Structure 1
Amino acid sequence: MNVVVTEYNNRWKQMFGEESQKMKDIFVDELIDIHHIGSTSVPGLKAKPIIDIMPVVKDIEKIDSFNEQMTGLGYECMGEFGIKGRRYFRKHRDNRTHQVHVFQVDNKEDINRHLAVRDYLRTHSEVAKQYGNVKENLAKQFPKDIEAYMNGKDAFVKELERTALHWYMNN
């Protein structure tokens, strides 16, 4: 997978809206909420142009029954994919455009972690700029190595999550 980090694109919000409507039509009564998360959800933040969507559902086990419908939308169904209690779907494996991270409503740890980072970056533009620069530099350094890119930003992301969660829980 090529690692490309671009300037913020105003169309990302629209892309989230279009795709989240498709999720609403599939998950219907299981869906409690749906959030745009990840770097494309933060205006002004440089990002890999992949829309991260986080549906929050009543019962995570029931989500597996929607795999065929998700496949019909072009998603690859990946199960938990390394995070217990999640259902992960990705669209266009090598030229990924969307990722869906489904969590059950009582999984506060994972839900809060994603919302905290998003909201923290939305309200702390200096940190968002710093994060964007880290990602851009790593993408230039490792344009064909997603693992090295991810490893390179790991320490920054862990500290960002820790700071953002503390901020989120105290606001």
Structure 2
Amino acid sequence: MRKTKILAWTDDWGKSYCQEEKVLEEVFREELVDIFHIGSTSIPTIGYAKPIIDILIVVKDIENVDLYNNEMLELGYEPKGENGIAGRRYFQKGKDNRTHHLHIFQVESEHIKNHLDFKEYLIKNTEEAKKYGELKINLAKQFPNEHHKYQNGKQQFVNELADKAKEWSSERRFPC
């Protein structure tokens, strides 16, 4: 059973990302366009997060990512296909004790911008980030052994943040 563990934000998550980035750049070098640290572990202002490093990779051709599944398995990543999001390739590392989530999209996918805008919005809007961190702590205390209830409990707030990030991003690009 997967437990929900929330920890205080630490610089160690950035270091872990950097180590993994080098490995993944080597694996996907023929397809790689860009790579980013995303998710709560990339946002110091959030204060708290699950200790799982989320990584976003942008590739030239999403179909070619499947050719790397065996190499990713050797690195401990479990290929999950689209895993509910069309046009994505998703990998998990660490089984029930996850350490990394890898989200791969083809260049120009709207999901890339959405993830990056969400991150930037929370970095710039510290009060929103803190609310999100506090929600994570409260839900983890409430549902320590029911990860799906933890996820469901934060979904509406995440959706609201995503909408705010999208609006914030469009206002930044086209100020009046």
Scaled to the shorter chain, the TM-score interval is: over 0.9
Question: Over aligned residues, Cα RMSD in angstroms?
Answer: 0.7
Amino acid at match of 2:84: G
Report the counterpart of residue 89 of structure 1 in structure 2: 91
CA distance in structure 2 between the partners assigned to 1:4 and 1:126 by the alignment: 22
Q: Following superposition, which runs of at least 4 residues in structure 1 exceed 6 angstroms of deviation?
A: none
**Deviation readout 1:74-102 (Å, 9 max, x if unpaired):** 01010001100000000011000000000
CA distance in structure 2 between the partners assigned to 1:145 and 1:31 by the alignment: 36
Q: What stretches of structure 2 of length at least 5 have no aligned partner?
A: none
Report the counterpart of residue 169 of structure 2 in structure 1: 168
Q: What stretches of structure 1 of length at least 5 have no aligned partner?
A: none
**Deviation readout 1:127-165 (Å, 9 max, x if unpaired):** 111100001000000001111001100110000000001
CA distance in structure 2 between the partners assigned to 1:86 and 1:123 by the alignment: 27
**Deviation readout 1:44-76 (Å, 9 max, x if unpaired):** 421000000000000000000001111111010
Report the counterpart of residue 32 of structure 1 in structure 2: 33
CA distance in structure 1 between the partners assigned to 2:67 and 2:170 by the alignment: 34
Aligned counterparts, 1:1-171, within 5 A? 1-45=2-46, 46-107=48-109, 109-171=110-172
CA distance in structure 2 between the partners assigned to 1:127 and 1:106 by the alignment: 28
CA distance in structure 1 between the partners assigned to 2:99 and 2:107 by the alignment: 25
Cα pair 2:45 2:122 within 8 Å, conserved: no
Amino acid at match of 1:100: L
Give the TM-score of the pair, scaled to structure 1: 0.97
CA distance in structure 2 between the partners assigned to 1:157 and 1:11 by the alignment: 24
Amino acid at match of 1:68: N
CA distance in structure 1 between the partners assigned to 2:108 and 2:113 by the alignment: 11
**Deviation readout 1:3-52 (Å, 9 max, x if unpaired):** 01111011000100110111100000210000100000001421000000
Cα pair 1:7 1:44 within 8 Å, conserved: no
Cα pair 1:112 1:165 within 8 Å, conserved: no
CA distance in structure 1 between the partners assigned to 2:30 and 2:79 by the alignment: 20
User: Offset of 1:169 from its aligned partner?
Assistant: 2.4
CA distance in structure 2 between the partners assigned to 1:79 and 1:170 by the alignment: 34
Amino acid at match of 1:61: E
**Deviation readout 1:95-124 (Å, 9 max, x if unpaired):** 0000000000021x2111111110011111
Q: For residue 96 of structure 1, give the secondary structure of its aligned residue in structure 2.
A: coil
Cα pair 1:32 1:58 within 8 Å, conserved: yes
